[in-house]
Amino acid sequence: MKRKRGEQGSAAVAFSLATFLVIFTIVTVYLFLAKPAWGWFPPSITEFGKQIDAQFHRTLVITGIVFVVAQLGLALVIFRSRDHGQKASFFEGNSTMEFIWTLATVIMFVGLGLYGEHAWAEAHFQGAAPGALQLEVTGQQFAWNFRYAGPDGKFGGTKPELVSASTGNPLGLDPRDPASKDDVVSPVAYVPMGHEVELLIRTQDVTHSFYVRELRLKQDAVPGMTIHMHFNATVPGEYELACAELCGLGHYRMRSFVNVVSQDEFDKWIRDQETALQQQ
Amino acid sequence: MVTHEGGGHHHPPSGFIRKYIFSLDHKVIGLQYYFLALFSVFLGMALSMLMRIHLVWPNAKMPFTPGGQMTPEQYLALVTMHGSIMVFMVLTTAPQSGFGNYMLPIQIGAEDMAFPVLNMLSFWTTFVSLVVLVSAFFVTGGAPISGWTAYPTLSALGEIAGPGQGAGQNLWIIGVAIFCIGSLLGALNFITTTVDLRAKGMTLGRMPLTVWAWLVTAILGLLAFGVLLAACLLLLLDRVAGTSFFIPGGLVVTDTPIVSHTGGSPLLWQHLFWFFGHPEVYIAILPGMGVASHVLSTFSRKPVFGYKAMVGALGAIGFLGFCVWGHHMFISGMSPYSAFAFSLLTMTIGVPSAIKTFNWLGTLWGGRIQFTTAMMFGLGFVSLFVTGGLSGLFLAQPSIDLYLHDTYFVVAHFHLIMGVAAIFGIFAATYFWFPKMFGRMLNETIGKAHFWLTFVGVYSIFMPMHFLGLAGHPRRYADTTGVNFLAPLHPVHYFITIAAMITITAQLIFLFNFFYSMKVGQKAAENPWNATTLEWSIPSPPPFDNFAGHIPVVYRGPYEFSVPGATDDYIPQYLAPERVGKAH
C-alpha cells in the first residue's frame, strides 16, 4: 500500500524537477556564453587587465564544466532513481571513486589558483616601472581628490587641521612647506596614455575603495595607510571611478573620473593647472 | 547513587513558566530558538523587501519614513540590520541552536543536554541580544549604517561619521557581543553533550551525520565567537572610552580633525572580524549539509555514500574554515604576499565541498527516491550548494577579486551559499522533523507549492546578480543613479525586485502550512518516514525526558537502508540484531 502511494506522482515530480534543473543549466550556460552587454566587463584598457580577463575565462570554463556536470548529474539521478517500484541498490561507498574525484578537484582547483597568482604578483609584488607618474588619490566622505607633485617632483606636507574642503584646501596642504606650493590638486584625474602611473592611495576619514572597472583595479583606501598600485593605460577615454567600500550615506555617489589622454594633452592639462596655481 | 523505578524517569515541571518560558527541556529550548529564528527571518525578509523596492522605485513613499522617500542612510540601516539579523538571528540559531538543541540529544540517546540550565541561559541571552539589536532602529539617528561587517573607522568614530553611527552603532555592538556569549554557552553544551551523553552503542562511527555536523559547528562556534566578542569589546572601548585599537591618528572627518585618537589599525578589526566571519559561514551551512545527507539517504532508501568521507569532509571544511579569513581582505591593504596563501587554502576548501557533492549524488544513485517535500528541499540544497559554491572559486583568487570584490557578484555568491542553501537546509529539516516535533504532518501539497515557488524564486533573484557584479556594480549602493555605468542595469534590478516580491510572498504559504498543520494536520505516527535514527523510536511528539526512562541501546550505523537479506528496507539503529526481519 505504502509503496503504491510513493510511486504515484513520483514520475511527474521527478520529471519536473529534472526538467527544471536542465532548463536552469541551459539558461545559465547560455547567459555566460552570450556575455550580455548589460551585464559584462567593459573592455580592459591595460595589458594587465587582459591577464585578469584571461584568468576569469579559465575559471569560467573550469567552474562551468563542474556546474554542468553536477546539475545535470543531479537531474539525471533524480529522474533515473525515481521510485518506480524498484528495490534500491545497496552500497555504502567506493574508495576508488572517492580518490579519483578528490584528486581531480585538487588538481583543478589548486592548479587554477596557482595559475591565477601570476596576475596578482604583477599587480602587487612588482613596483611601478621607473619614471612612473606619481599620482596621489585621497578619498574623503564623499569625494575623491587627486594630487600631482608638480615640477619639483615632491608632494608637499599636509596637516589635518588645515583640511578645509569648503575653502579649497581639501587635502590640508601646508602653505609653509615650499614643496606643497606647486602641488596640483584636482577632483578628476588625467593620466598620459601608454605611460606608467603609480597610485598612492589614501583616505582622510573612513575606508573607501578606489575602483576603475576598465583598469581591472580595486584597492581599499585605509585610514592611516598609503597603499601603492600601478597601471599603464593604453586606450584613451574617460573612465568612471566608483567607491567600492561602504563609507557612509553618500557611498553610492562617491565617484570621479580618470581621463586617459595623449602625452601632449596631458602635458598641456598639467601645465594649465600649474599656471593657475601660480596666479593664485 | 539513587536508582529510580523505570531507570530514572523524570517528571516534567507543572507550572507554565517553567514548562514553556524558562524551560530546561532541550526540546522546548530548541523550539524557542526556532521561533526566534522564524520571527527574525520574516523581519529580515521585510527589510530586504524595502531595500529592493527602494532600488527600483527610489521615490516610492515608505510607511516608516514620515518625510516620504527613503534616505540613503535609511537604506544603509536596512542593509546593516538585514545582514545582522539574518546571519546571527536566523542562520546561526535555526540550524544549530534550534534543530541541534531539539534533535541532537535524542539522536544520540540522551535525556537532555549536558547542562540544561546553561542551555536555558544561552537561549535567553540570545533573546536579549535580539531585543538590543532591533532596538537600534528606535534610537536617535536610527540603526547603524556600517553594514554587518562594521568596518572601522566608519563604525568607530561615532556620530560624526554618519547617522546611525551614534547610539545605533553602540546598540549593534552590544547586541552582537551578547549574542556571542549566548553562542559560546551553546557551543560548550553541544560539545559536552555529544562527547559525554551518547547512549550505549552510539560510537562516533554510528552517529548520524547531522550530529557530526552539529558537533563540528559547535567547535567552530566555540573558537570563533570568542574572537568576535573580544573584537566587539575593543570597538566599544574605542567608541566610549577613548582607546584607539582601530583608529589611527591624523584623521579628518568633514573638515574636523580627530584629535583624540592615534596609533590604531582599522585592519586589525578586519582580521578579528573575519577570523570569526569566515567560520561563521560554515556555522550557517554545516548543519544544512548534515541535514541534506540525512534526508537524502532516508528518502532515497540508501546508505549515505562514503560516510567516513562525509565526516572527514565536515572536519576538513571546519578546519580549513579557520585558515582562509584573509580571502575577505585581498584588497584591504593587508600584505599582498599573504593573499597567496589565503587564496590557495581557499581553493582547497573546494575539495571537501566537491567530495560532499559527489557523495550526495552517489547516495541518490541507484536509490528509490521518494519525493517528499523534505527531500525536495534536500535536493534543492544540493543544487544551490553547487551553484553558490562554484562562484566562490572566482572570489578565492585575488587577481579576479581585484575586479569582483565588493560587487553584486559577491552578494549573489554568499546569498546562494550561506543564505539560501542554509535556508533550504532549514526547510528540509522542518518538513522532515515537524511530525516528530508537533505530532502532526505538514501538508505535503502546500509544501510542494512552497518548494517550487521558493526554488524558482531564489534562482531568479540571485542568478541575475552575478551579471550585475560582472558589470562592476558595487554593493551597498543606496541608489543606482549616482554612478553613470549603473544606468543600463536598471532592468535587471527591476527583474530581481519582482522575483523577490513573489518569493517572499510565497513564504506566507509556509507560515500558513506551519500553523495550520500544527492545529489540524494529519496525526503523525512514531516513524512516518520509515527512518532509522533514534528520534523515530519514540512517540511524536516525544515525552518530557525523551525515552521515558528507557534509554535505547544502539546496534548499528545510522543509515542502514535496503540492506540485502532484510525484510524491511530500513533497519533502525535501536533494533537488536535478533529482531531484524530476515527475507527468505
* CATH number for the domain that contains residue A205: 2.60.40.420
* Domain span including residue A231: 133-279
Gap between the Cα atoms of B519 and B537, Å rounded: 23
Gap between the Cα atoms of B245 and B242, Å rounded: 9
Helix axes B26-56, B490-520, angle to 10 degrees: 150
CB atoms B472 and A42 under 8 Å: yes
Residues A213 and A77 in one domain: no
Q: Is the dihedral of CA B148, B154, B157, B162 positive or negative?
A: negative
Residues A104 and A200 in one domain: no
Residue A230 lies in a domain: yes
Residues A65 and A201 in one domain: no
Residues A21 and A154 in one domain: no
Q: Is B458 part of the contact surface with chain A (CB cutoff 8 Å)? A: no
Alpha-carbon Rg of chain A, whole angstroms? 28
Query: Residue A230 pLDDT > 80, yes or no?
Result: yes
Cβ within 8 Å of residue B562, ≥6 positions away = A87, A88, A89, A90, B301, B302, B303, B368, B569, B570
Mean pLDDT, rounded, for B55-65:
84
Residues A111 and A157 in one domain: no
Per-residue model confidence as pLDDT tens digits over A85-97: 888 988 888 889 8
List B residues 96-135 in contact with A (Cβ-Cβ < 8 A). none
Q: 3-class DSSP state for residue B443?
A: coil
Assess contact for B581 and B569: CB atoms under 8 A.
no
Residues A118 and A143 in one domain: no
Residue A89 lies in a domain: no
The domains located in chain B, with CATH, are 27-249+260-264 (1.20.210.10), 523-584 (no CATH)
Mean pLDDT, rounded, for B100-120:
97
Q: Is B161 part of the contact surface with chain A (CB cutoff 8 Å)? A: yes
Residue A196 lies in a domain: yes
Residue A87 lies in a domain: no
Query: Residue B570 pLDDT > 70, yes or no?
Result: yes
Assess contact for B247 and B258: CB atoms under 8 A.
yes
Substitution target in A5, A16, A17 with the highest count of B β-carbons within 10 Å is A17
Extract the C-alpha cell encoding B218: 559547535
More confident residue, A110 or B246: B246
Assess contact for B91 and B277: CB atoms under 8 A.
no
Nearest CB neighbour to B306, from listed A51, A98, A244: A98
Extract the C-alpha cell encoding B447: 509544501
CB atoms B162 and A71 under 8 Å: no
Bridge partner residues of A237 (DSSP): A260
CB atoms B399 and A101 under 8 Å: no
Mean pLDDT, rounded, for A46-54:
95
> Chain B closest CA to A6's CA: distance in Å?
6
Per-residue model confidence as pLDDT tens digits over B574-583: 999 999 887 6
Q: Is B390 part of the contact surface with chain A (CB cutoff 8 Å)? A: yes
Assess contact for A3 and A87: CB atoms under 8 A.
no
Nearest CB neighbour to B482, from listed A98, A207, A255: A255
Q: Output the pLDDT for position A125.
A: 87
CB atoms A10 and B455 under 8 Å: no
Mean pLDDT, rounded, for B530-534:
97
Q: What is the DSSP letter of A80?
A: H
Per-residue model confidence as pLDDT tens digits over A95-152: 898 898 889 999 988 899 888 888 888 888 888 999 999 999 999 999 999 999 999 9
Gap between the Cα atoms of A42 and A230, Å rounded: 20
Extract the C-alpha cell encoding A273: 593647472
C-beta neighbour count of A199 within 10 angstroms: 28
Extract the C-alpha cell encoding B227: 574572537
Mean pLDDT, rounded, for B312-332:
96
> Chain B closest CA to A176's CA: distance in Å?
19
Gap between the Cα atoms of B554 and B264, Å rounded: 56
CB atoms B403 and A81 under 8 Å: no
Q: What separation in angstroms does the CA of B492 have from each of B223, B331, B483?
A: 40, 27, 16
Nearest CB neighbour to A38, from listed B350, B407, B471: B471
Residues A120 and A143 in one domain: no
Residues A268 and A169 in one domain: yes
CA dihedral A262, A266, A272, A277 (to 10 degrees): 170
Assess contact for A226 and A220: CB atoms under 8 A.
no
Residue A45 lies in a domain: yes
Contacts of A141 in chain B (CB under 8 A): 161-162, 253-254
Helix axes A95-105, B336-364, angle to 10 degrees: 150
Residues A75 and A114 in one domain: yes
Q: Searching chain A, which residue's CA lies closest to the CA of residue B308?
A: A93
Assess contact for B264 and B248: CB atoms under 8 A.
yes
What is the complex's ipTM, to 2 decimals?
0.95
Sheet holding A237-242, edge to edge: A189-192, A255-261, A237-242, A208-212, A217-221
Beta-sheet pairing, A255-261 with A217-221 = unpaired
Residues A265 and A138 in one domain: yes
Residue A138 lies in a domain: yes
Mean pLDDT, rounded, for A7-27:
90
Residues A32 and A114 in one domain: yes
Gap between the Cα atoms of B359 and B306, Å rounded: 6
Residue A70 lies in a domain: yes
Q: Is the dihedral of CA B363, B369, B373, B377 positive or negative?
A: positive
Per-residue model confidence as pLDDT tens digits over B253-287: 999 999 999 999 999 999 999 999 999 999 999 99
Gap between the Cα atoms of B474 and B489, Å rounded: 12
Confidence class of residue B15 from pLDDT cuts 50, 70 and 90? confident
Residues A35 and A113 in one domain: yes
Q: Searching chain A, which residue's CA lies closest to the CA of residue B342?
A: A113
More confident residue, A8 or B473: B473
The pTM score is 0.96
Confidence class of residue B372 from pLDDT cuts 50, 70 and 90? very high
CB atoms B153 and A28 under 8 Å: no
List B residues 368-387 in contact with A (Cβ-Cβ < 8 A). 368-371, 376, 379, 382-383, 386-387
Confidence class of residue B4 from pLDDT cuts 50, 70 and 90? very low
C-beta neighbour count of B519 within 10 angstroms: 8
Per-residue model confidence as pLDDT tens digits over B121-177: 999 999 999 999 999 999 999 999 999 999 999 999 999 999 999 999 999 999 999
Per-residue model confidence as pLDDT tens digits over B545-554: 999 889 999 9
Q: Report the number of distinct structural domains present in chain A.
A: 2
Q: Output the pLDDT for position A178.
A: 92
Residue A88 lies in a domain: no
Contacts of A243 in chain B (CB under 8 A): 474
Gap between the Cα atoms of A26 and A20, Å rounded: 10
Q: What is the DSSP letter of A37?
A: G
Q: Output the pLDDT for position A122.
A: 85
